[in-house]
Amino acid sequence: MRRRASLAWSVPALLMALPVAAVSMFRAIPAEWPLIVVQLLSFTPWMVLPAAVALVLALPGRRLWVIVTTSALLALQVLWLFPLDPGRQQALPDGTPTASVRVMSLNTEYGEADADTIVRLVREHGVQLLTLQEHTQRLEDALRSAGMDKLLPNVLSEPNDDASGGAVYSVFPIEAVGLLPDTPFRMDVTRVLVTDGGAASTAALNLTNVHALPPVDERIGQWRSDLDKVARQASRPGNHLLVGDYNATYDHSEFRSLLDAGTGSQQEASKLVDVGTASGGRFSPTWPMEGPPLPGIVIDHMVTTPRISSSGYSVHRIPGSDHAAIMATLVIPAG
């Protein structure tokens, strides 16, 4: 009778743990997995739920090996939710002059995001630097009508109706520097001169407006190529902010490899910082905000070089877009 009762609990526990184990294997091995696995890995954070249920079912069964197995799987999910090294901001020497900037980024979903809401968020949160992906001329006109030019008067814009458009709005002087090569969506590099009025210091920021191709059908190779180009840009000298729609989560080895790419020379290389992950933002999905009822995931990221510190990371839903806006305050060393 006891054996039957034990099986009645242990078997469901193992059945619940099986998909968790499969996803965990793919997550743990940094291989170039096929499309279906790459897409499945996006939802890794949600595996903590069946892993917890599996452990709860295993306990009444009192089979030690089942309890140990389900406990280990749950511990692994928690470890991935709270990674030990998401990238650490480097402390600057005492007396280093800095300049701060409030940054916001949004994929506007073919320019359908509500312009009034965007402008309201910029005004209410004191946003000084805004990057938009999938920017269109219609949205640009709507933003101007809503008063964006009074808040962020400096603009570099390349609108397009096919999702490849992008724009940078800034209260600070900006200069177009270049464009990441051979990417289907525009990824412009912009130099921003961030000035801290109180401290009378100016910091140069290399801003990359990221919009990687999504990993779908035969284009998965282009997705990997796009992320690699972002990593190469981050390896250049200087203070970098690489922000936007990566179409990748922290659970993709391709994204973690980008963070590991480091900056500067080999001797000075250090891990890039994913501001959202470092701030506990793995619980704040950025997609999908509308459409099919899928579990939310984080595919929009602010990635910085480690000498840039951050605070106040937040996620904001905007009507009309299937992406949420991400926002944070960055402190950049001057010079």
Task: Look at residue 266 in the predicted model and tell me its pLDDT.
Answer: 41
Q: How far apart are the first and last CA of the chain?
A: 75
> What per-residue string of b and e applies to 46-64 under the rule 16 or more CB within 10 Å gives b?
ebbebbbbbbebbeebebe
Task: Look at residue 8 in the predicted model and tell me its pLDDT.
Answer: 81
Task: Look at residue 263 in the predicted model and tell me its pLDDT.
Answer: 52
Task: Look at residue 101 in the predicted model and tell me its pLDDT.
Answer: 97
Task: Look at residue 291 in the predicted model and tell me its pLDDT.
Answer: 81
Task: Look at residue 261 in the predicted model and tell me its pLDDT.
Answer: 80
Provide the 3-class DSSP secondary structure of residue 201.
strand
Q: Which two tokens stand for residue 287?
A: 């997609």
Task: Look at residue 299 in the predicted model and tell me its pLDDT.
Answer: 98
Q: How many CA atoms lie less than 13 Å away from 256 in the CB half-sphere?
A: 17
Closest CA to 209 of 107, 86, 282: 107
Single-letter amino acid code for the residue at 23: V
SS3 readout for 44-60? HHHHHHHHHHHHHHHHH
Task: Look at residue 267 in the predicted model and tell me its pLDDT.
Answer: 38
Question: E strands along the chain, which residues?
Answer: 98-107, 129-133, 154-158, 166-170, 174-179, 188-196, 201-211, 240-245, 273-274, 300-304, 309-316, 325-333
pLDDT in tens, the chain (335 residues): 556 667 888 999 999 999 999 999 999 999 999 999 999 999 999 999 999 999 999 999 889 999 999 999 999 999 999 988 777 788 888 888 999 999 999 999 999 999 999 999 999 999 999 999 999 999 999 999 999 999 999 999 999 999 999 999 999 999 999 999 999 999 999 999 999 866 678 999 999 999 999 999 889 999 999 999 999 999 999 999 999 999 999 999 999 999 998 654 443 457 999 999 999 888 899 999 988 788 999 999 999 999 999 999 999 999 999 999 999 999 999 97
Task: Look at residue 292 in the predicted model and tell me its pLDDT.
Answer: 79
Q: How many CA atoms lie less than 13 Å away from 149 in the CB half-sphere?
A: 7
